[in-house]
Amino acid sequence: MKCREIFDRGIRFHHYCNTAYPLRPNSLAAYELHDEAQILKTVKKNIETQKELCLYVHIPFCQARCRFCEYVVLDQPAEDDPDRYVEHLLKEIELYREMIGDKPIAGYDLGGGTPAYLSVENLKAITDSIKRFALEDGIYMSIETTPVIAANDPEKIKAIREMGYNRISMGFQTVSEKLLSELGREGSKSIYEKAVENIRKAGFDRLNVDLMYGFLNQSDEDFANTIRYTIALGPEFITLYRNRYKGTKLEAESQGVTLYKVNRQYEIAYRLLKEAGYEANNGKNTFSRIPGDMGTSSYLTKRVIDATSYVGFGLGAQSFVGNYLAYNLGCVDHKLEKYFEAVEKGILPINDIADMPIDEVRAKAISVMFYFGFISMKAYKARFGEDFRDVYATQIAFLENNSLMEFVNEDTFMLTDYGAAHLYGIIPLFYSERSVKEMFTLSDRWLNDKKGEDIYLEKYDRKKYDAPSVAVDLLIFNRDKTKLLLISRAEHPFVNKLALPGGFYMPEDETLEYAAARELLEETSVSVDIKEKDLVKVTSTKGRDPRGWVVSVAYSVCLDENAVKPVANSDAIYASWVELKTLKKEDLAFDHWEIIDYVLNKD
Give the model confidence (pLDDT) of 415-437 as tens digits.
999 999 899 999 999 999 999 99
Are residue 49 and residue 190 in the same domain, yes or no? no
Q: Is the pLDDT of residue 68 over 60?
A: no
Amino acid at 107: G
Q: Which domain holds residue 342?
A: 29-140+307-355
Are residue 204 and residue 289 in the same domain, yes or no? yes
Are residue 96 and residue 230 in the same domain, yes or no? no
3-state secondary structure at position 343: helix
Q: What confidence score (pLDDT) does residue 358 get?
A: 97
Does a structural domain hold residue 48? yes
Does a structural domain hold residue 445? yes
pLDDT, averaged across the chain: 91
Cα distances from 421 to residues 27, 439, 563, in angstroms, run 27, 20, 25
Q: Do residues 58 and 126 lie in contact, with contact meaning Cβ atoms separated by under 8 Å? A: no
Are residue 105 and residue 14 in the same domain, yes or no? no
Q: Nearest-CA neighbor of 544 among 594, 579, 474?
A: 594
CATH code assigned at 523: 3.90.79.10
Q: What confidence score (pLDDT) does residue 463 get?
A: 67
Q: What confidence score (pLDDT) does residue 415 get?
A: 97
Which among 27-41, 212-226, 509-523 has the top mean pLDDT? 27-41
Are residue 464 and residue 448 in the same domain, yes or no? no
Q: Say what the pTM is.
A: 0.81
Q: How many other β-carbons are positioned within 10 Å of the β-carbon of residue 41?
A: 12
Does a structural domain hold residue 363? no
Does a structural domain hold residue 364? no
Secondary element (H or E) of residue 51:
none
C-alpha torsion angle, residues 225, 228, 229, 234 (rounded to 10)? 160
In residues, how long is the chain?
A: 603
Instruction: Give CA–CA dist 55/91, Å, rounded.
Output: 15
Q: Nearest-CA neighbor of 113 among 75, 141, 151, 72?
A: 72
Are residue 155 and residue 188 in the same domain, yes or no? yes
23: left (phi over 0), alpha (psi -120 to 50) or beta: alpha
Does a structural domain hold residue 378? yes
DSSP annotation of 31: G
pLDDT in tens, 222-256: 899 899 999 999 999 999 988 765 566 666 766 77
Q: How many other β-carbons are positioned within 10 Å of the β-carbon of residue 232?
A: 9
- Of 459, 490, 512, the residue at which a domain comes to its end is 459
Lowest mean pLDDT among 169-178, 293-302, 378-387, 400-409: 169-178
Are residue 128 and residue 202 in the same domain, yes or no? no
Per the structure, how many domains does the chain have? 4
Are residue 146 and residue 130 in the same domain, yes or no? no
Are residue 343 and residue 284 in the same domain, yes or no? no
